[in-house]
């Protein structure tokens, strides 16, 4: 059963007056040292799911006291309850004594007793509704809970009882953590902050061993891993790595993070260790089953039959597992170093618009795409990201180009093929777009271009425009 | 050491220096690596378009080479390009690869922000031994991209058995060819035989004029000033066409003795 620890920070200044580390999001990240499920709750509140985590800090009372002490500069008040709404109400309107703000788990009567004396504003309803309820004599939550619902709902809206049900656990009200819950977590805590790069790397390697042990037990491999570094002054640094296939080799995982740290240093965006990191956590955010694979049998490589079979399955080149491993490791390392958006593979799309027919997607995703339908006509080897406007001369407004000027060079067309008409995909965009007539042209020097004329003469436009979109060899 | 011996040593050193200087004047790489490079085992290719507008042709030639290596080694192709180069000259287009016999699944593109990153990625890719061909496309070459860097990449490629192709901007006096290998080519577009649709000619298939820009005498029997004709159709149909055109054997091809074995 989930247990929610809600924190109220009454003296937290508005976000615009704070530097980055003091913002509510930064505080939520700091709270992730207690539990991975931490979320912000409005501009002045935090909510943590501490089920299964509180005992690591000496129990719920000790954890609550610890958080209040650490956030004392913001006059923090915390409460623990079975529902986030009850926790929110107790943190703001509950008794002064901290231990009284911890509601017993699974005891609905105790919960009802605890909240019934709270003002209706503790239901987190609109202030106008709360004022109206008070004016009619319904000042406490207990006053509402014991009365027939229909008349109150008819007069003040259904939100009053929706909130009440959520507070009492009669309806679900999940929290929305800043980061998803990891599948596997390992962490190391230090009395003194760790500053040296080699110590951080060694810690990550040790944690990778721990995490990989867990993965082995479940026969899974990590696809997405995050290293979270908690600095002693509360700042949190998160480093994400993704792999193109399920991975559970500690050395490889550690190497990915080494690449990432290298890139952080290379970008002059130093890690900023400050006084050091007192908690380093390695979390597998996403894991996938890792199928057994056998590349060699007693030193004999995979048989040629298997290779041929792989070729027949349309995988392009058939390769041994060793070659695939080398490729995947390289892609992962480069993605870690330069970013996933820098290491790309082609991905066909179900569209006939040339610029969208084959897009680039991060190679680390490792998705297998179906074979796209072959285009009717030949396609260029290079495609400009934005078609370039050219000046073209044609015999007729809807005829092929005779001559065009691109980048201040005039090209005389001696051969052409076209038009290949491609209509716009009207269902994709609200703005009307024009039909394109594509021409494959060759100039007198043998240079080949892919041009198009935008707009059908008369029916769509009076002045069609010409563009060059690609280059042939 | 006797005076005669010392004089002999100094004379030898002077001869060596003169040889190096002569080599440098001829535009060739000056290290012992370059001298000992066996063209038949070259692993590093430097391709330059004859003019900026020939970039499409040079790209096609690089792709044809890469596809050739990919088929020979049964491996994928990596294209590493600077952001600026892709913005200026376009991104390699998946449907266009089919004409070169390349499957889009076997093509990986790295687009990097800085030229230094391109070299770093190229070196890593060479070491990884995961690709049949690696093509690097910087937007321009500057002082930092010195022959030493090229030599390092070439040595790495040779050691790893990788095929590295540098697709560079046009060469000129201020930016000469840098690769320590005879495999330096200048590429320009060339009109190909055009099929006709009735009276109207259609554009021909890819064809190139290729000039071997290696150091003088590095490719025996090749006129270093002439552009030799190579076309894609012939290149894809038979594996010896490029060799015949250039009178040299590419590394992906097994030797006659190896074939016999």
Residues of A in contact with B86 (CB under 8 A): 385
Residues of B in contact with A445 (CB under 8 A): 188-189, 191
pLDDT, tens digit, for every residue of A443-458? 999 999 999 999 888 8
ipTM of the complex model: 0.77
Q: Are residues A50 and A131 in the same domain?
A: yes
Mutate to test the interface with A, among B78, B95, B201, B209 (most CBs of A within 10 A): B95
Nearest to B123 by CA among A251, A334, A243: A334
- Neighbouring CB atoms inside 10 A of A193's CB total 17
Q: Are residues A254 and A351 in the same domain?
A: no
Token pair, residue B175, equals 């930016």
Smallest CA–CA distance, residue A404 to chain B, in Å, is: 14
- Neighbouring CB atoms inside 10 A of B118's CB total 24
pLDDT tens per residue across all 473 residues of chain A = 678 999 998 887 766 555 555 578 888 888 888 888 889 888 888 999 988 888 888 888 999 999 999 888 888 899 999 999 999 999 999 888 877 888 888 888 888 888 888 998 998 888 899 899 888 888 889 888 888 888 888 988 888 888 899 888 888 888 888 878 889 999 999 988 888 889 999 999 999 999 999 999 999 999 999 999 998 888 888 898 988 888 889 999 999 999 999 888 877 667 788 889 999 999 999 998 876 554 444 334 444 444 444 444 444 444 566 778 888 889 999 998 898 899 999 988 888 888 888 889 888 776 556 666 666 678 899 999 999 999 999 988 888 999 999 999 999 999 998 888 998 888 877 777 889 999 999 999 999 999 999 988 888 888 899 999 999 98
Residue B178, exposed/middle/buried by CB under 10 A (0-12, 13-18, 19+)? buried
Asked if A447 and B117 come within 8 Å (Cβ–Cβ), the reply is no
For residue B161, pLDDT over 60 is answered with yes
Mutate to test the interface with A, among B96, B116, B188, B194 (most CBs of A within 10 A): B96
Distance of CA B192 to CAs A58, A441, A443, A446, B234, Å? 81, 13, 11, 7, 11
- Neighbouring CB atoms inside 10 A of B159's CB total 11
Token pair, residue B88, equals 């200026």
Q: What per-residue confidence (pLDDT) applies to B182?
A: 75
CA distance linking residue A262 with residue A243, whole number of Å: 18
Ramachandran class of A455: left when φ > 0, alpha when ψ lies in -120 to 50, beta otherwise: left
A372 close contact with B: CB closer than 8 A: yes
At B145 the three-state DSSP class reads coil
Q: Are residues A249 and A322 in the same domain?
A: no
Of B75, B107, B113, the CB nearest to A323: B75
Confidence of residue B197 (pLDDT cuts 50, 70, 90): low
CATH number of B37-194+201-260: 3.40.50.300
Give me the residues paired with residue A80 across strands: A5, A102
Chain centroid to Cα B207, Å, comes to 17
Greatest alpha-carbon span in chain A? 92
Asked if A415 and B202 come within 8 Å (Cβ–Cβ), the reply is yes
- Among A403-412, B13-22, B84-93, B243-252, name the one with the lowest average pLDDT: B243-252
Nearest CA in chain B to A345: B108
Half-sphere exposure of B40 (CA within 13 A, CB side): 6
Confidence of residue B67 (pLDDT cuts 50, 70, 90): confident
Of B56, B70, B100, the CB nearest to A448: B56
Smallest CA–CA distance, residue B185 to chain A, in Å, is: 16
A408 close contact with B: CB closer than 8 A: no
Give the residue from A289, A310, A343 where a domain finishes.
A289
Nearest CA in chain A to B190: A446
Residues of B in contact with A471 (CB under 8 A): 55-56, 59, 89-90
CA distance linking residue B127 with residue B160, whole number of Å: 6
Chain centroid to Cα A471, Å, comes to 36
Q: Are residues A401 and A354 in the same domain?
A: no
DSSP string, A39-87: EE-STTEEEEE-TTTGGGGTSHHHHHHHHHHHTGGGT-EEEEESSHHHH
Q: Are residues A82 and A231 in the same domain?
A: no
B93 close contact with A: CB closer than 8 A: yes
For residue B7, pLDDT over 90 is answered with no
On whether the CB atoms of residues A331 and A337 are closer than 8 A, the answer is no
Q: Are residues A303 and A281 in the same domain?
A: no
**Residue A35 forms part of a structural domain:** yes
Nearest CA in chain B to A449: B56
Angle at B258 between CA B257 and CA B259, to 5 degrees: 90
**Residue A28 forms part of a structural domain:** yes
pLDDT, tens digit, for every residue of A118-160? 998 998 888 899 899 888 888 889 888 888 888 888 988 888 8
Nearest to B252 by CA among B86, B103, B133, B113: B133
Q: Are residues A306 and A265 in the same domain?
A: no
Nearest to B189 by CA among A441, A467, A393: A441
- The structure tokens 């795409």 sit at A369
Q: What per-residue confidence (pLDDT) applies to B39?
A: 41
**Residue A133 forms part of a structural domain:** yes
Nearest CA in chain A to B122: A334
Smallest CA–CA distance, residue A223 to chain B, in Å, is: 20
Asked if A363 and B97 come within 8 Å (Cβ–Cβ), the reply is no
Of A342, A346, A414, the CB nearest to B112: A342
Q: What per-residue confidence (pLDDT) applies to A33?
A: 86
Q: Are residues A56 and A147 in the same domain?
A: yes
CA distance linking residue A149 with residue B147, whole number of Å: 84
A376 close contact with B: CB closer than 8 A: no
Question: Taking a contact as any Cβ pair under 8 Å apart, which residues of chain B between 169 and 208 contact chain A?
Answer: 188-192, 194, 197, 200-204, 206-208
Nearest CA in chain B to A471: B56
Domain count, chain A: 4
Nearest CA in chain A to B116: A266
Question: Taking a contact as any Cβ pair under 8 Å apart, which residues of chain B between 204 and 243 contact chain A?
Answer: 204, 206-208, 232
A348 close contact with B: CB closer than 8 A: yes
Q: What per-residue confidence (pLDDT) applies to A291?
A: 65
Half-sphere exposure of B247 (CA within 13 A, CB side): 10
Torsion of CA A357, A363, A369, A372, to 10 degrees: 30
Q: What per-residue confidence (pLDDT) applies to A311?
A: 42
Nearest CA in chain A to B127: A330
Residue with the bigger pLDDT between B147 and B143: it is B147
Give the residue from A133, A167, A201 where a domain finishes.
A167
Backbone angles phi and psi of B53, in degrees to 5: -75, -10
Mean pLDDT, residues B127-146: 86
Q: What per-residue confidence (pLDDT) applies to A293?
A: 53
Which residues in A87-110 are b (16+ Cβ under 10 Å) and which e?
bbbbbbbbeeebeebbbeeeeeee
DSSP string, A247-285: E--HHHHHHHHHHHHHHHHHTT-----TT-EEEEEEEEE
Asked if A346 and B109 come within 8 Å (Cβ–Cβ), the reply is yes
Nearest CA in chain A to B108: A345
Residues of A in contact with B133 (CB under 8 A): none
Q: What per-residue confidence (pLDDT) applies to A352?
A: 85
A365 close contact with B: CB closer than 8 A: no
Q: What per-residue confidence (pLDDT) applies to B235?
A: 62
Residues of A in contact with B109 (CB under 8 A): 344-346, 360
Confidence of residue B42 (pLDDT cuts 50, 70, 90): low
Residue B133, exposed/middle/buried by CB under 10 A (0-12, 13-18, 19+)? buried
Sign for the pseudo-dihedral over CA of A196, A202, A206, A209? positive
Residues of A in contact with B137 (CB under 8 A): none
Q: Are residues A302 and A412 in the same domain?
A: no
Token pair, residue A323, equals 């070659």
Smallest CA–CA distance, residue A447 to chain B, in Å, is: 5
Backbone angles phi and psi of B141, in degrees to 5: -115, 140
To which H or E segment does residue B128 belong? helix B115-128
Ramachandran class of B48: left when φ > 0, alpha when ψ lies in -120 to 50, beta otherwise: beta
Nearest to A106 by CA among A79, A80, A84, A82: A82
Residues of B in contact with A409 (CB under 8 A): 53
Nearest to B118 by CA among B144, B155, B89: B144
Chain centroid to Cα A77, Å, comes to 31
Q: What per-residue confidence (pLDDT) applies to B3?
A: 60
Q: Are residues A153 and A20 in the same domain?
A: yes
At B144 the three-state DSSP class reads coil
Q: What per-residue confidence (pLDDT) applies to A303?
A: 41
Q: Are residues A437 and A419 in the same domain?
A: yes
Confidence of residue B2 (pLDDT cuts 50, 70, 90): low
CA distance linking residue A326 with residue B131, whole number of Å: 9
CA distance linking residue A307 with residue A303, whole number of Å: 7
**Residue A445 forms part of a structural domain:** yes
- Neighbouring CB atoms inside 10 A of A421's CB total 12
Nearest to A253 by CA among A213, A217, A197: A213
Nearest to B66 by CA among B52, B49, B79: B79
A388 close contact with B: CB closer than 8 A: no
Sign for the pseudo-dihedral over CA of A263, A269, A273, A279? negative
Backbone angles phi and psi of B52, in degrees to 5: -55, -35
Token pair, residue A457, equals 């003469």
Give the contacts of A457 (CB within 8 A, at least 6 positions apart): A397, A398, A464
Give me the domain span that covers residue A158.
4-167
Asked if B109 and A344 come within 8 Å (Cβ–Cβ), the reply is yes
Asked if B201 and A414 come within 8 Å (Cβ–Cβ), the reply is yes
Asked if A415 and B128 come within 8 Å (Cβ–Cβ), the reply is no
On whether the CB atoms of residues B109 and B91 are closer than 8 A, the answer is yes
Q: Are residues A264 and A317 in the same domain?
A: no
């Amino acid at each position: 059963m989930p247990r929610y620890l809600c924190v109220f920070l009454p003296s937290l200044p508005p976000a615009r007056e704070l530097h980055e580390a003091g913002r509510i999001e930064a505080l939520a990240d700091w709270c992730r040292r207690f539990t991975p499920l931490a979320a912000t709750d409005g501009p002045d509140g935090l909510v943590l799911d501490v089920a299964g985590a509180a005992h690591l800090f000496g129990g719920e009372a000790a954890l609550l006291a610890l958080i209040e002490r650490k956030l004392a500069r913001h006059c923090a008040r915390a409460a623990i309850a079975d529902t986030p709404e009850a926790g929110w109400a107790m943190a703001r309107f509950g008794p002064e004594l901290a231990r009284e703000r911890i509601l017993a788990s699974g005891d609905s009567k105790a919960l009802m007793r605890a909240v019934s004396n709270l003002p209706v504003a503790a239901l987190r309803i609109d202030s106008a509704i709360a004022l109206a309820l008070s004016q009619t004599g319904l000042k406490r939550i207990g006053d509402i809970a014991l009365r027939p619902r229909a008349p109150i709902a008819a007069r003040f809206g259904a939100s009053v009882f929706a909130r009440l049900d959520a507070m009492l656990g009669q309806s679900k009200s999940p929290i929305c953590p800043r980061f998803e819950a990891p599948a596997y977590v390992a962490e190391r805590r230090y009395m003194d902050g760790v500053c040296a790069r080699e110590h951080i790397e060694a810690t990550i390697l040790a944690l990778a061993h721990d995490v990989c042990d867990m993965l082995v037990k479940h026969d899974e491999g990590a696809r997405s891993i995050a290293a979270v570094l908690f600095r002693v002054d509360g700042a949190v640094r998160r480093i994400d790595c993704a792999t193109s296939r399920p991975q559970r080799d500690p050395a490889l995982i550690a190497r990915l993070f080494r690449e990432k740290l290298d890139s952080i240093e290379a970008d002059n965006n130093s890690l900023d260790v400050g006084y050091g990191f007192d908690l380093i956590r390695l979390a597998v955010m996403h894991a996938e089953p890792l199928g057994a694979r056998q590349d060699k049998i007693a030193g004999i490589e995979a048989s040629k039959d298997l290779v041929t079979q792989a070729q027949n399955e349309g995988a392009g080149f058939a390769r041994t597992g060793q070659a695939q491993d080398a490729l995947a490791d390289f892609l992962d390392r480069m993605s870690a170093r330069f970013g996933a958006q820098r290491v790309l593979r082609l991905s066909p799309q179900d569209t006939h618009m040339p610029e969208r027919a084959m897009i680039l997607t991060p190679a680390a995703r490792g998705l297998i795409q179906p074979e796209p339908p072959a285009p009717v006509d030949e396609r260029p080897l290079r495609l400009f990201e934005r078609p370039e406007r050219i000046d073209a001369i044609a015999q007729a407004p809807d005829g092929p180009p005779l001559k065009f000027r691109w980048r201040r060079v005039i090209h005389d067309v001696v051969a052409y093929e076209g038009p290949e008409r491609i209509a716009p995909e009207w269902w994709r965009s609200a703005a009307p777009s024009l039909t394109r007539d594509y021409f494959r042209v060759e100039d007198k020097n043998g240079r080949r271009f892919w041009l198009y004329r935008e707009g059908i003469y008369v029916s769509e436009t009076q002045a069609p425009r010409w563009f060059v979109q690609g280059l042939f060899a | 050491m006797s005076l005669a011996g010392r004089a002999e040593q100094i004379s030898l050193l002077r001869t060596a220096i003169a040889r190096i200087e002569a080599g440098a004047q001829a535009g060739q790489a000056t290290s012992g690596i370059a001298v000992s490079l066996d063209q038949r085992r070259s692993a590093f290719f430097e391709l330059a378009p004859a003019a900026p507008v020939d970039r499409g042709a040079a790209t096609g030639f690089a792709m044809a080479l890469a596809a050739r290596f990919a088929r020979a080694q049964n491996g994928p192709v990596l294209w590493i390009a600077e952001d600026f180069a892709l913005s200026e000259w376009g991104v390699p287009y998946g449907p266009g690869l089919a004409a070169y016999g390349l499957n889009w699944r076997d093509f990986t593109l790295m687009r990097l922000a800085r030229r230094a990153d391109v070299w770093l990625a190229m070196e890593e890719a060479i070491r990884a031994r995961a690709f049949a061909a690696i093509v690097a496309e910087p937007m321009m070459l500057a002082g930092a991209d010195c022959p030493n860097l090229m030599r390092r990449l070439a040595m790495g490629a040779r050691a790893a058995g990788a095929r590295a192709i540098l697709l560079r901007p046009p060469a000129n006096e201020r930016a000469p060819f840098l690769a320590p290998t005879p495999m330096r080519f200048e590429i320009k577009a060339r009109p190909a035989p055009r099929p006709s649709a009735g009276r109207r000619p259609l554009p021909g298939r890819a064809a190139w004029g290729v000039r071997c820009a290696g150091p003088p005498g590095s490719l025996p029997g090749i006129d270093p000033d002439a552009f030799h004709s190579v076309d894609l159709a012939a290149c894809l149909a038979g594996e010896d066409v490029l060799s015949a055109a250039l009178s040299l054997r590419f590394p992906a091809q097994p030797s006659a003795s190896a074939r016999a074995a």
